[in-house]
């Protein structure tokens, strides 16, 4: 994947390169041998062995469902392995529940944070680590937490309620929580999925510092560049098995990708060959009320038929609000949104937009994309049912529904489907997103609004999503791709708009210069 | 997570017991668990009764033999079950759109008031009188739920509170009518005057099944059909499972909610009609007692499944009838009767928990 090549090497890289040689020699902090874990018939971990050295930052890579999180949950005591041994500093241990892990100095930061929103940072830390007298333990924890935070360079206000904090601050609270519990082994499950590049860089700098003190850090990730840049060693898992552990210097992205997916996936830029007339035009669009995202003001851009228009920008600059306007979840206060062949859009409902040929891929899949408790068949069929397909209002034709779901699941390569009446929530991220795509593209949309469609997806699933977006464009469709992942924007877009502080501040024709876009994203004041 | 069977694994304090969420329990297993829960509840209740001095043989006679064999008490149970089925459906249909209708009691009261209004004023031809009364009851139930519905949709006022408070208003309005303008002119008791024969829900003339039971069954079929097979029911699942997603995909959540909630109010009103015209033949000042909140309980235990509503309504009805005979024939205090009823309900509800979770003993 050309777009994933490392460009700017952060400071921590030199340090980690030097450490690579040492890491292999350093004593083993944690040694997992022949771990097997199955859920019913499904073998999630198949004879996995893994070792973690003292003083290293170790990346655990793999596709969704490869078993990375399961393995780490075994270490953290959330799952008990069916067989296999765990040794800590050379002596065998049985970690059969989280409090044992806690006592042994193993701390894990989960993908979804376990914090009480209304409590302050310190109260959250106290909740996990407090002992005895509340006041005294608070005072002691405050000193200790402050000391640790300063040592690793976490600036954080301990007395602010966690609910008011940004995602990256909340993550710091989680990390402080395990550090105040004297964790020597720190496990981070997809720590950067919700962070910006700069925040991620700061996080890994701090983690490198922790490793230098003799602790061990493991982080689970999908992002190759991150593993190559920040890890001392990289372990790749695939389909519940261990593939290999390598040093980042000995490998490049292409090799790493093929280790992860078992084949070589290279996504290439593939510009549109047939750009048509303007399809959707935004003129001076503003919206300020409601919602958490930054307001947008005076947004102007035009997207043509057969074109992918990428909107780049650091998250929280109004992208969510723009997506909400374009998908009918919000109505704009000012300005005009013109649709070729229809006229001005003015508060059309999501249903009306769908009838006009819109397809929407929301960034928050769990919230807007799928109903996790309902079946795959229901989630796939709902838009068609709304459009009046599948029988009469009084009698839904489940046979036809089943047949067409079956077909779509196959056509969009949705895997992990054991039965169509299986809950959609049981699909892994990539397959859930493929199901969303199958539904949204089932009616050959002429306009696709996609907001961070590949967030949290592995390389293979992301490539599939990209392929479908390209297909939609090549059929003459108009695609608006809003993404915080600059690699994705550069790979996919025919034209790029940069969003900052609620407005489109610059436009580039593809192929665009990465640095120029980066400058526009952050430089605009 | 790739795991299928385990959505969440959690260690309890008793560290050898693992609690896991089941993905799906097969129907025979569900029925078996439910039956086990019911049996356990009955056993505990029997122990309670024996401890307050009821002999074991009397227990067997009263519960097992007479309820099942005596057609009179069976008829009694069925007659009470009919309105319970209807309120259970009412709760289920509202809960399906996440509208927590705690005001079933008030709607039941208003339904009976609507029916009695028609009966008192002799509205419409006598042949259609029952139909008119039923329609008036449904309309009155809808009217009584309309205000909380409006407040919730317009001003986001929590319906749990507003529907609950509407119960008290309805009750006081009922008392006002029964002690005032609608007081029985013959006996001067606080009842409405007794319904004429054409205004009573009698027997269907088939197997001694009363008309109210038939009405309840018709609505069970209708609601079950709507939930399982209609477009409306299909979309309602999305409103329940994920309202934000439903809205984003184009489901008109507001309209669906309005329709479902009005249907809930109408059914509650109909239950009021079924009680007053099917059991008491008049509107009394306490006819609604035990129906409103039983409806919520039934809807909850049945997890909004119309067929399960029938089962739980029958259970609650049997408990009501048995409780009465316990009080009358064995001088068991009312508090013990309530204790028994609660025990059985808790045991059945606990089996629900086991249907959704699996307990595993480790090592």
Are residues B234 and A396, on separate chains, in Cβ contact within 8 Å? yes
Residue A385 confidence (pLDDT): 92
Q: Could you give the strand order of the β-sheet that contains A503-509, starting from the edge strand earlier in sequence? A: A358-361, A447-451, A478-482, A307-312, A495-500, A503-509
Select from A70, A383, A416 the Cβ nearest to the Cβ of B249. A383
Task: Inform me whether the pLDDT recorded for B279 exceeds 50.
Answer: yes
Q: What pLDDT score was predicted for residue B68?
A: 63
Tokens found for residue A168? 């990256």
Judged by CB atoms closer than 8 Å, whether chains meet at B2 and A70 is answered as yes
Confidence band for A43, pLDDT divided at 50, 70 and 90? confident
CB pair distance less than 8 Å for A354 and B250: yes
CA-CA-CA-CA dihedral for A381, A386, A390, A395, to nearest 10? 120
What residues of chain A lie within 8 A of the CB of B245, using their CB?
Answer: 367-371
pLDDT for the residue A21 = 47
Question: A277 in contact with B at a CB cutoff of 8 Å?
Answer: no
Residues of B in contact with A425 (CB under 8 A): 7
Chain A residues inside the 8 Å CB shell of B360: none
pLDDT digits (tens, 9 = 90+) for A401-451: 999 999 999 988 888 788 888 888 888 778 888 999 999 998 889 999 999
Rounded to 10°, the helix B211-229/B71-95 angle is 30
Which two tokens mark A380?
A: 């796939």
pLDDT of res. B207: 63
Q: What is the DSSP letter of A161?
A: B
Q: What pLDDT shows up at residue A481?
A: 96
Task: Give the 3-state secondary structure of residue A383.
Answer: helix
- Residue A466 has a pLDDT of 93
Distance CA(A455)–CA(A59), nearest Å, equals 19
The percent of residues above 90 in pLDDT, for chain A, comes to: 40
**Interchain CB contact of A362 with B (< 8 Å):** yes
Question: Which of A185-194, A386-395, A444-453, B185-194 reaches the highest mean pLDDT?
Answer: A444-453
Whether residue B245 lies within 8 A of chain A, CB to CB, comes out as: yes
Confidence at residue B330, expressed as pLDDT on a 0 to 100 scale: 79
Q: How far apart are CA A202 and CA A166, in angstroms?
A: 15
Q: Based on the number of CB atoms within 10 Å of its own CB, is B359 exposed (0-12), middle (13-18) or buried (19 or more)?
A: exposed
A356, A374, A430: best to mutate for the B interface, most B CBs within 10 A:
A374
Nearest chain B CA: its distance from A8 CA (Å)? 33
Cα distance between residue A97 and residue A104, in whole Å: 11
Residue, of B208 and A372, whose pLDDT is higher: A372
Buried b (16+ CB within 10 A) or exposed e, A54-78: bbbbbbbbbbbbbbbbbbbbbbbbb
Closest in A39, A362, A393 to B232, CB measured: A393
Task: Collapse the DSSP code of A184 into the 3-class scheme (helix H, G, I; strand E, B; otherwise coil) and give the result.
Answer: coil
Q: Binning pLDDT at 50, 70 and 90, where does residue B40 land? A: very high
State whether A350 and B250 contact (CB < 8 Å).
yes
Q: What is the pLDDT of residue B3?
A: 38
Which residue in the block uniquely carries the two structure tokens 């003292």?
A54
A385: nearest CA in chain B?
B231
Query: Has residue A90 got a pLDDT over 90?
Result: no
| Ordered alpha helix ranges (H), A344-428 | 350-355, 376-386, 398-411
B229 in contact with A, Cβ within 8 Å: yes
What's the pLDDT score for residue A473? 93
Mind listing the pLDDT tens digit for each residue in A280-299? Answer: 999 999 998 776 678 898 99
Rg of the Cα atoms in chain B: 22
End-to-end CA distance of chain B: 25
Q: How many other C-beta atoms are found inside a 10 Å radius of the C-beta of residue B131? A: 12
Residues pairing with A88 in the sheet: A30, A91
Q: Is B122's Cβ below 8 Å from some Cβ in A?
A: no
Residue B244: its chain A contacts at CB < 8 A?
A: 367-368
ipTM: 0.81
Which backbone phi and psi does A483 adopt, to 5 degrees? Answer: -150, 145
| Contact indicator for A520, A507 with CB cutoff of 8 Å | no
Domains of chain A: 2-105+184-267 (3.40.50.300), 276-357+445-525 (3.40.50.300), 368-442 (no CATH)
Q: Which strand (E) or helix (H) includes residue A517?
A: helix A514-523
Q: Which of the 8 DSSP states describes residue A211?
A: H
Q: Does the beta carbon of B254 lie under 8 angstroms from any beta carbon of chain A?
A: no
Task: Name the 3-class secondary structure at A362.
Answer: coil
| CA–CA distance, A110 with A59 (Å, rounded to integer) | 15
State phi, psi for A43 to the nearest 5 degrees. -90, 110
Q: CA–CA distance from B337 to each of B293, B334, B342 (Å)?
A: 17, 5, 9
A419 and B CB contact within 8 Å: no
- C-beta atoms of A391 and B246 within 8 A: no
Residue B249: list chain A partners with CB under 8 A.
350, 354, 382-383, 386
Residue of B248, B254, B358 for testing the chain A interface, max A β-carbons within 10 Å: B248
Dihedral sign computed on CA atoms, order A378, A381, A383, A385: negative
Residue in A96, A372, A382 nearest the CB of B249? A382
Find the residue in B nearest to A398 (Cα). Answer: B229
Give the residue from B273, B276, B278 showing the smallest Cα distance to B140. Answer: B273
Between A469 and B30, the higher pLDDT residue: A469
Mutant choice from A382, A419, A443 vs B, greatest count of B C-beta within 10 A: A382
Lowest-confidence region among A168-172, A183-187, A437-441, B307-311: A168-172
If residue A358 lies in a helix (H) or strand (E), which one and from where to where? strand A358-361
pLDDT for the residue A400: 92
B230 touches chain A (CB under 8 A): yes
B102 contacts B339 by C-beta, under 8 angstroms: no
pLDDT tens digits along B69-108: 666 677 788 888 999 999 999 999 999 999 999 999 999 9
Whether residues A374 and B241 touch (CB distance < 8 A) is answered with yes
Q: Is the pLDDT of residue B149 over 70?
A: yes
Separation CA A111–CA B144 (nearest Å): 46
By DSSP bridging, strand A241-246 and strand A233-238 are antiparallel
pLDDT of residue B5: 35
- Mean pLDDT to the nearest integer, A366-377: 90
- The model's pLDDT over B104-146, given as tens digits with 9 standing for 90+, comes to 999 999 999 999 999 999 888 988 999 999 999 999 999 999 9
User: Which pLDDT does position A268 carry in this prediction?
Assistant: 80
Share of chain A above pLDDT 70, in %: 93
User: Which has more confidence, B60 or A321?
Assistant: A321
**How does pLDDT run across A492-520, given as a tens digit for each residue?**
999 999 998 889 999 999 888 888 888 88
Nearest alpha carbon to residue A333 among A270, A271, A302, A290? A290
- Whole-number pLDDT of residue B362: 60
Q: Tell me what pLDDT residue B67 has.
A: 62
> Residue A469 has what pLDDT?
94
Structure tokens at A205: 């700098």
How do A343-345 and A57-61 pair as beta strands? unpaired
B244-280 per-residue burial string, b: 16 or more CB within 10 A, e: under 16? ebbbbbbbbbeebbbebbbbbbbbbbbbbbbbbbbbb
Q: Which residues of B touch A72 (CB under 8 A)?
A: none
Q: Which residues contact B143 (CB under 8 A, 6 or more apart)?
A: B110, B265
Query: Cβ separation of B242 and A367 shorter than 8 Å?
Result: yes
Instruction: Name the band, by pLDDT with cuts 50, 70 and 90, for residue A487.
Output: confident
Q: Give the pLDDT confidence score for residue B227 in this predicted structure.
A: 94
Q: Taking CB atoms and an 8 Å limit, are A373 and B5 in contact across chains? A: no
Separation CA A522–CA A519 (nearest Å): 5
Residues of chain A with Cβ-Cβ distance to B15 below 8 Å are 96-97
Determine contact: A360 vs chain B, CB below 8 A: yes
Six-digit token pair at A449? 């609004």
- B329's tokens: 């024939």
Residue A300 has pLDDT above 70, yes or no: yes
| pLDDT greater than 50 at residue B7 | no
- CB proximity A43 to B under 8 Å: no
The reported pLDDT for the residue numbered B355 is: 81
What CA–CA distances, in Å, run from A38 to A67, A261, B84, B90, B146? 11, 21, 46, 43, 52
Answer whether A185's CB lies under 8 Å from A29's CB.
yes
More confident residue, B187 or B245: B245
A267 or A370, higher pLDDT: A370
Domains of chain B: 30-49+74-355 (1.10.3470)
- Find the CB nearest A350 among B237, B241, B248: B248
Out of A44, A64, A78, closest to residue B9 by CB:
A78
Cα–Cα distances in Å, from A186 out to A154, A175, A178, B311? 16, 8, 8, 52
Q: Write the residue in B15, B244, B251 that is nearest to A97 by C-beta.
A: B15
Neighbours of B284 (CB within 10 A): 20
Whether the bond into A511 is cis, omega within 30 of 0 = yes
- Structure-token match 């580039």, residue found: A508
Q: A438 vs A360, A421, A442, A454, CA distance in Å?
A: 12, 16, 6, 15
Q: Cα dist. B141→B62, B107, B111, B115, B135 in Å?
A: 37, 5, 5, 11, 10
Asked whether the predicted pLDDT for residue B265 surpasses 70, the reply is yes
> In a 3-state reduction of DSSP, which class is residue B286?
coil
The DSSP annotation for A80-142 comes to --SEEEEEETTEEE---SHHHHHHTTEEEE-SS----TTSBHHHHHHHHH--SSHHHHHHHHH
Task: Read off the pLDDT band of B284 (50, 70, 90).
Answer: very high
Of A42, A374, A396, the CB nearest to B231: A396
Task: Quote the Cα angle for A262-A267-A271, to 5°.
Answer: 160
| Average confidence score pLDDT of chain A | 86
Q: What is the pLDDT of residues B192-228, one digit of tens each?
A: 988 988 888 877 666 667 889 999 999 999 999 999 9
DSSP A395-408: -B-HHHHHHHHHHH
Q: Does A515 touch chain B (CB under 8 A)?
A: no
CB burial of residue B94 (10 Å; 0-12, 13-18, 19+): buried
Q: Chain B partners of A240 at a C-beta cutoff of 8 Å?
A: 2
The residue with greater pLDDT, A273 or A356, is: A356
User: Scanning every residue of chain B, which has its alpha carbon at the shortest distance from the alpha carbon of A71?
Assistant: B1
User: What CA–CA distance (Å, rounded) separates A223 from A456?
Assistant: 9
Beta strands A307-312 and A478-482 are parallel
Distance from CA of A12 to the nearest CA of B (A): 31
Chain B residues in contact with A69 by the CB 8 A cut-off are 1
Half-sphere exposure in the Cβ direction for A427 (13 Å, CA): 34
Share of chain B above pLDDT 90, in %: 50
State residue B90's pLDDT score: 97
* Contact criterion met (CB < 8 Å) for A69 and B246: no
Nearest to A94 by CA among A108, A82, A77: A77
Q: Picking from A70-79, A102-111, A194-203, which range would have the lowest pLDDT averaged per residue?
A: A194-203
Give the per-residue pLDDT at A264.
65
pLDDT above 80: residue A279: yes
Query: What is the overall mean pLDDT for chain B?
Result: 86
Predicted confidence (pLDDT) at residue A393 exceeds the cutoff of 80: yes
Quickly list H helices, chain B: 27-51, 56-59, 67-69, 71-95, 104-121, 129-155, 159-179, 211-229, 231-241, 243-249, 253-275, 291-301, 306-330, 334-356
């Amino acid at each position: 994947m050309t777009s994933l090549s490392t460009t700017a090497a952060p400071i921590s890289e030199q340090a980690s390169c030097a450490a690579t040689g040492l890491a292999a020699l350093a004593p083993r902090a944690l040694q997992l041998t022949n771990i097997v874990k199955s859920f019913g018939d499904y073998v999630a971990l198949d004879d996995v062995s893994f070792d973690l050295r003292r003083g290293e930052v170790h990346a655990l890579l793999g596709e969704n469902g490869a078993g990375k999180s399961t393995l780490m949950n075994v270490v953290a005591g959330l799952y008990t392995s069916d067989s296999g041994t765990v040794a800590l500093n050379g002596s065998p241990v049985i970690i059969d529940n989280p409090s044992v892990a806690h006592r042994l100095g193993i701390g894990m930061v989960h993908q979804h944070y376990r914090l009480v929103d209304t409590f302050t940072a310190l109260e959250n830390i106290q909740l996990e680590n407090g002992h005895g007298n509340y006041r005294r333990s608070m005072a002691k924890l405050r000193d200790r937490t402050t000391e640790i935070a300063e040592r690793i360079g976490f600036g954080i206000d301990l007395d602010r309620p966690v609910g008011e904090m940004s995602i990256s601050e909340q993550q710091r609270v989680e990390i402080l929580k395990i550090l105040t519990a004297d964790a020597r082994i720190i496990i981070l499950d997809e720590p950067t999925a919700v962070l910006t590049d700069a925040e991620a860089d700061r996080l890994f700098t701090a983690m490198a510092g922790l490793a230098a003190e003799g602790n061990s850090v493991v982080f689970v990730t999908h992002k190759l560049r991150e593993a190559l840049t920040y890890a001392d060693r990289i372990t790749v898992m695939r389909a519940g098995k261990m593939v290999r552990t390598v040093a980042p210097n000995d490998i490049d992205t292409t090799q790493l990708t093929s280790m992860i997916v078992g084949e070589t996936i290279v996504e290439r830029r593939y510009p549109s060959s047939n750009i048509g007339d303007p399809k959707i035009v935004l003129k001076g669009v503003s919206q300020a009320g409601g919602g958490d995202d930054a307001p947008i003001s005076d947004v102007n851009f035009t997207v043509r038929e057969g074109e992918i228009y990428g909107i780049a920008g650091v998250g929280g600059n109004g992208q969510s609000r723009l997506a909400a306007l374009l998908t009918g979840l919000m109505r704009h206060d000012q300005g005009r949104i013109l649709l070729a062949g229809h006229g001005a859009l003015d508060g059309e409902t999501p249903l009306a937009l769908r009838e006009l040929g819109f397809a929407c891929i929301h960034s928050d899949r769990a919230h807007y994309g799928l109903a996790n408790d309902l079946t795959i068949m229901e989630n796939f069929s709902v838009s068609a049912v709304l459009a009046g397909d599948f029988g009469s209002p009084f009698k839904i034709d489940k046979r036809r529904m089943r047949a067409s779901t079956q077909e779509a699941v196959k056509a969009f390569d949705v895997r992990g489907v054991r039965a169509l009446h299986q809950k959609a929530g049981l699909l892994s991220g990539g397959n859930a997103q493929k199901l969303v795509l199958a539904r949204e593209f089932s009616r050959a949309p002429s306009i696709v609004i996609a907001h961070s469609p590949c967030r949290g997806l592995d390389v293979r699933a992301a490539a599939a999503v990209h392929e479908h977006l390209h297909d939609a464009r090549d059929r003459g469709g108009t695609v608006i791709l809003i993404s915080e992942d600059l690699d994705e924007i550069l790979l996919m877009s025919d034209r790029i708009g940069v969003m900052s502080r609620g407005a489109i501040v610059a436009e580039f024709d593809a192929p665009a210069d990465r640095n120029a876009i980066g400058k526009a994203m952050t430089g605009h004041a | 997570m790739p795991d299928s069977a385990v959505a969440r694994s959690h260690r309890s304090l008793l560290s050898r017991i693992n609690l896991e969420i089941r993905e799906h329990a097969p129907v025979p297993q569900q029925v078996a668990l439910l039956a086990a829960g019911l049996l356990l509840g009955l056993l505990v209740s029997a122990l309670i009764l024996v401890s307050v001095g009821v002999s074991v043989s009397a227990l067997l006679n009263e519960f097992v033999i007479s309820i099942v064999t005596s057609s009179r008490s069976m008829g009694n149970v069925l007659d009470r079950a009919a309105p319970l089925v209807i309120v259970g459906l009412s709760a289920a249909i509202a809960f399906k759109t996440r509208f927590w209708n705690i005001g079933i009691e008030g709607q039941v009261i208003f339904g009976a008031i609507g029916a009695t209004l028609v009966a008192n004023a002799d509205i419409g031809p006598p042949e259609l009188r029952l139909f008119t009364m039923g329609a008036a009851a449904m309309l009155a139930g809808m009217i009584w739920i309309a205000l909380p519905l409006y407040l919730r949709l317009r001003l986001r006022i929590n319906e749990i509170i507003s529907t609950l408070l509407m119960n008290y208003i309805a009750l006081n309005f009922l008392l006002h009518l029964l002690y005032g303008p609608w007081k029985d002119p013959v006996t001067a008791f606080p009842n409405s005057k007794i319904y004429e024969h054409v205004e009573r829900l009698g027997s269907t003339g088939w197997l001694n099944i009363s008309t109210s039971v038939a009405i309840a069954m018709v609505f069970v079929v209708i609601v079950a059909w709507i939930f399982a097979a209609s477009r409306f029911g299909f979309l309602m699942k999305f409103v329940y499972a994920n309202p934000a997603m439903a809205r984003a995909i184009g489901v008109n959540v507001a309209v669906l909610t309005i329709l479902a909630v009005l249907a809930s109010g109408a059914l509650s009103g109909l239950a009021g009609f079924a009680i007053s015209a099917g059991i008491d033949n008049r509107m009394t000042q306490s006819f609604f007692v035990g129906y409103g909140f039983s409806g919520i309980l039934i809807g909850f235990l049945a997890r909004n499944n119309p067929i399960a509503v029938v089962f739980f309504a029958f259970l609650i009805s049997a408990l009501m009838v048995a409780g009465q005979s316990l009080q009358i024939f064995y001088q068991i205090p009312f508090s013990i009767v309530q204790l028994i009823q609660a025990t059985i309900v808790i045991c059945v509800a606990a089996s629900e928990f086991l249907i959704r979770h699996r307990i595993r003993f480790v090592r």
